[in-house]
Amino acid sequence: MELHLLDIAVIVLYLIVMIVAGSYMSRKASVDLDSYFLGSKKIPWYYLSVSNVGGMFDISGTMWLVYITFVYGMKSVFIPWIWPLFNQIFLMVYLAAWLRRSNVLTGAEWITTRFDHETNGGKLAHLITVIFSIVSIIGFLSYGFVGIGKFTKIFLPWD
């Protein structure tokens, strides 16, 4: 494969833009914990929505979409809308307002605030949120690695 001057220029420009954007965002986020986790609560809702959507793309999900398109044809375009659409509407309309007003940074903190942390019920709600988060992260990482493995198996020279 031979790269032309234009190809190299696009790659270099992309890398420069990413370094500048990363440095700028790093300075803005290093002010305090609110800036790091919540963007100082100054990020418009539509940016948050794009960020949430951007975090949902992965190779395993892409492979699943190709698979259902193969099985169901073009009507499969509507399948991904069943869950995410209603989930996003619920998050934007109800949950986002509660979370922003609560002044907490994590789901476990929110559960502790919502269900009095002095009671056994509040402590158990906090504990189950932490356990669920850990199990979910392990599951999502495993899912991602399986997807990456299946995808790269095609391109890597060993079996």
Residue 155 has pLDDT above 70, yes or no: yes
* 3-state secondary structure labels for all residues of the chain: CCCCHHHHHHHHHHHHHHHHHHHHHHHHHCCCHHHHHHHHHCCCHHHHHHHHHHCCCCHHHHHHHHHHHHHHHHHHHHHHHHHHHHHHHHHHHHHHHHHHHHCCCCHHHHHHHHCCCCCHHHHHHHHHHHHHHHHHHHHHHHHHHHHHHHHHCCCCCCC
What domain count does the chain have?
Answer: 3
More confident: 115 or 59: 115
Which band of pLDDT confidence, cut at 50, 70 and 90, is reported for residue 17? very high
94-149 residue pLDDT tens: 777 777 777 777 767 777 777 777 788 878 887 888 898 899 889 888 888 887 88
Q: Are residues 78 and 56 in the same domain?
A: yes
pLDDT computed for residue 138 by the predictor: 93
% of residues, the chain, pLDDT over 70: 84
Phi, psi of 117, rounded to the nearest 5 degrees: -75, -5
Q: Are residues 17 and 47 in the same domain?
A: no
Q: Among residues 77, 102, 127, which one ends one of the domains? A: 102
Domain extent, residue 72, equals 43-102
- Give domain status of residue 24, yes or no: yes
- Give domain status of residue 37, yes or no: no
Q: Are residues 74 and 98 in the same domain?
A: yes
Is residue 83 classed as helix, strand or coil in its secondary structure?
A: helix
pLDDT computed for residue 57 by the predictor: 67
Q: Are residues 49 and 83 in the same domain?
A: yes
